[in-house]
């Protein structure tokens, strides 16, 4: 990607943040300014997304063909290893999030009734968070074998 394309992309991203914020600040204190800022935000976001897609699609096809050949020579086992590492981390974090949500809400309810059980309840919340760490360790082990 050339330098001018990178500069244009950076300017578009800055404008997609600044223009809706400016519309929100400059508007009257009514519900209309929220709608106007939301519409501008959507237009700027999807405009930047479409523009980036078009700019990325006009890349050098010879370079893409060379990268594809190198990736095919490396084999699909590397790609499957990355997928396995992503799944190990992602699914363990989803499970850990579900466990923390139920354990933390129960812990907060118990602490609000009796403040002396704070230590015991933190242990259960920490055990639920440990599931995420185990998934991360497994993904590091998978990536170490690639």
| pLDDT tens-digit profile, the chain (146 residues) | 567 777 777 777 777 777 766 766 766 666 667 777 777 777 777 777 787 777 766 665 555 556 666 656 556 678 888 888 999 999 999 988 888 888 888 888 889 898 888 888 888 888 888 888 999 999 999 988 87
End-to-end CA distance of the chain: 29
- With CA atoms as reference, report the closest residue to 135 among 102, 105, 91: 91
- With CA atoms as reference, report the closest residue to 89 among 126, 134, 127: 134
CA distance 133 to 138: 9
C-beta atoms surrounding 44 within 10 Å: 19
Q: In this predicted structure, what is the pLDDT of residue 115?
A: 85
- With CA atoms as reference, report the closest residue to 55 among 13, 17, 15, 8: 8
- Residue 27 has phi, psi (to 5 degrees) of -75, 165
Please check whether residue 125 is in contact with residue 106, taking contact to mean a CB–CB distance below 8 angstroms.
Answer: no
């Amino acid at each position: 990607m050339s330098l001018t394309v990178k500069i244009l992309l950076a300017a578009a991203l800055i404008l997609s943040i600044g223009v809706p914020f400016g519309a929100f600040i400059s508007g009257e204190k009514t519900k209309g300014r929220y709608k106007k800022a939301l519409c501008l935000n959507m237009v700027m976001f999807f405009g930047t997304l479409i523009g980036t897609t078009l700019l990325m699609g006009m890349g050098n096809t010879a370079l893409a063909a060379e990268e594809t050949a190198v990736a095919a020579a490396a084999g699909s086992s590397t790609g499957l290893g990355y997928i396995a590492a992503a799944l190990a981390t992602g699914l363990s974090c989803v499970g850990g999030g579900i466990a923390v949500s139920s354990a933390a809400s129960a812990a907060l309810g118990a602490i609000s009734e009796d403040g002396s059980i704070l230590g015991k309840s933190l242990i259960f919340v920490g055990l639920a968070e440990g599931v995420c760490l185990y998934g991360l360790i497994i993904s590091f082990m998978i990536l170490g074998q690639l």
